[in-house]
Structure 1
Amino acid sequence: MGVKGTALPVLSVLGIIVVVWYLGAVWLNSTWVYDQAERAGTTVSFGEMVGQTMAQERPLLPPPHQVAAELWKGVAGQAVTSKRSLVYHGFVTFKGTMMGFALGIVLGVALAMSIVRFRVMDMSVMPWAIISQTIPIVALAPMILVVANQIGVQDRDVPKAIIAAYLSFFPVLVSMVKGLRSPDQMQLDLLRTYGASETQTFLKLRLPASMPYFFASLKVAIAASLIGTIVGELPTGAIEGLGARMLIGSQFGEPLIMWAALFAAAILAGLLILGVGVVERFARARMGVPA
């Protein structure tokens, strides 16, 4: 399937979403229009109502063009060092995301290697790793922040990184366990016949076999890490980061700020996933594996 064949379904779904979004904006924002008309003792036609729902200062559901305008103002209409710039806040969130992502990779890979190598780790650690993901992160995040403050951690990025790592390590762990165990018994027996050690078997067979699983998990983990960072920004009373911008927009009744920050986070997530894809292609080329 060519690029045109791929783009058409995507654009069709996008068009449907935009249409439904506009219809929802008219429906939800019309309440305010009719209420104001009733207070003034006047009536509004359907066309006037639709026009007013598209240009409210504090709409219940901002239409796409208002969100796009606010997003553009936050990205290109401010200096990148300004506290109103979404680029500035996006970089703050990006730092926490990458710290948590790196920590999650290290933790996930280390646990996966030990689980595959030692049966006792598989029996003891794996069930707890699965259970850990049943704890709601919105309940766990404030606890992590309180503990970090109690032990004297001043850097706000550290608790955010821990929360991000908590969400990102699990997909890496599960995928790496699956990947490291993917070689079949005939391949393992062949290396034993050649007198390969456990280390050589790991480096020459298990690790290369796990790479497709590893990079697939990274795309999930980087998105989970971003979510964890944003969640970590919400209960801290922070004034920096995309999560803080969403919270400020919600607290001060500025839905456009909240929606613009939300879409900025979505764009950041897309860019991070694309970055993982670039690294994956580079690694595959270095290993001689077809993309």
Structure 2
Amino acid sequence: MRQQSFVKDRLLPIGAVLVAITVLWYVFAVVLNAPFERDTAARAGTQIGFMEILPKTLAQERPVLPAPHQVVAELWDTTVNKAVTSKRSLVYHAWITLSATLLGFAMGAILGILLAVGIVHNRAMDRSLMPWVIASQTIPILAIAPMIIVVLNAVGISGLMPKALISAYLSFFPVVVGMVKGLRSPEQGQLDLMHTYNASAAQTFRKLRWPASMPYLFTSLKVAVAISLVGAIVGELPTGAVAGLGARLLAGSYYGQTVQIWAALFMAAGVAALLVVIVGIAHTLVLRRMGARA
């Protein structure tokens, strides 16, 4: 019964959505790629019908919108058929981007937690720092990323660190907001009870505020780890990087390799999904360790 319920409640709706998206994708691929085939036939002085156009629109070398099977074939070729050390392997490029993502995520998470603790426990920081934290996210990352890279290159810092800093810049914000809400989530009655026990601020933090903030922290970390990947990819774009998923996107745009672009996008989405799942598993384990239900 449980298995049937899982299939009915989870697999069938997800499968139906995937089928609908795939069908729409094929329809738009035919519509967007058909003008090229018509122009080619017109230049050759021939007429071409829809049934002749249809297979050609789904097999173009540089389509406006690649068909799903073309993207799957490119993903298979660049992940399974290529050695992971090859610069044509998406696994190789994904690892380059993942390295910057994880470093930036760690930096952003630590910074966000420290800022949240300070904001909750210090009224001056709450009133002065929190508005700046919010204002920092109003600056478009595409505008600030080149500035960060140029400044760091001027002082001799290049490679992984500039991309990690851009990831940290994006990822610290959801952690700050989530942790501030989590650390303030205990009710006044619970705080009063800790006060009657003559608990110090540190003891209240360790035994009440910190455990209460865990669900908020991990929810924020799921957002932060995904946006860290975006930051790492954005950090690769202004540098003209030769390695990383951002580099694959750049190379694909330079040479009109739309299939390569879409394959890199799907690889990035897969990496982001994997990271979110890992954070979700850590969330479940931590809450179970604390005796709560995830």
- TM bucket (normalised to shorter chain) is over 0.9
1:105 aligns with 2:72: no
Give 2:65's aligned residue.
Answer: 61
Aligned residues: 290
Q: CA deviation at 1:121?
A: 0.3
Q: CA deviation at 1:161?
A: 0.4
Q: CA deviation at 1:213?
A: 0.3
| Residues 186-197 of structure 1: pairs in structure 2 closer than 5 A | 186-197=189-200
Choose from 248, 252, 256 the match for 2:251. 248
Choose from 267, 271, 274 the match for 1:268. 271
Identity %: 58
Give 1:235's aligned residue.
Answer: 238
Q: CA deviation at 1:284?
A: 1.4
Amino acid at match of 2:193: L
Structure 1, gaps ≥5 residues long: none
Give the alignment's Cα RMSD to 1 decimal.
0.9
Q: CA deviation at 1:124?
A: 0.4
| Residues 193-208 of structure 1: pairs in structure 2 closer than 5 A | 193-208=196-211
Q: Distance in 2 between matches of 1:189 and 1:282?
A: 30
Amino acid at match of 2:29: A
Give 1:150's aligned residue.
Answer: 154
| Residues 140-179 of structure 1: pairs in structure 2 closer than 5 A | 140-154=144-158, 156-179=159-182
Give 2:44's aligned residue.
Answer: 40
1:91-144 CA distances to partner (integer Å, 9 max, x unpaired)? 001100000000000110000000000000000000000000000000000000
Q: CA deviation at 1:7?
A: 1.7
1:1-50 CA distances to partner (integer Å, 9 max, x unpaired)? 93211122212111111111111100110010000000111111111101
Give 2:228's aligned residue.
Answer: 225
Give 2:11's aligned residue.
Answer: 7
Please give the TM-score of this superposition, normalised by the length of structure 2: 0.97
Q: Distance in 2 between matches of 1:84 and 1:219?
A: 30
Give 2:130's aligned residue.
Answer: 126
1:241-289 CA distances to partner (integer Å, 9 max, x unpaired)? 0011011000111111111111000000011111111111111122111
Q: CA deviation at 1:218?
A: 0.7
Q: Distance in 2 between matches of 1:287 and 1:157?
A: 36
* SS in structure 1 at match of 2:242: coil
Please give the TM-score of this superposition, normalised by the length of structure 1: 0.98
Q: Distance in 1 between matches of 2:146 and 2:207?
A: 43
Amino acid at match of 2:75: L
Give 2:283's aligned residue.
Answer: 280
Q: Distance in 2 between matches of 1:143 and 1:12?
A: 45
Amino acid at match of 2:26: Y
Give runs of ≥4 in structure 1 deviating > 6 Å.
none
Q: Distance in 1 between matches of 2:251 and 2:150?
A: 21
Give 2:55's aligned residue.
Answer: 51
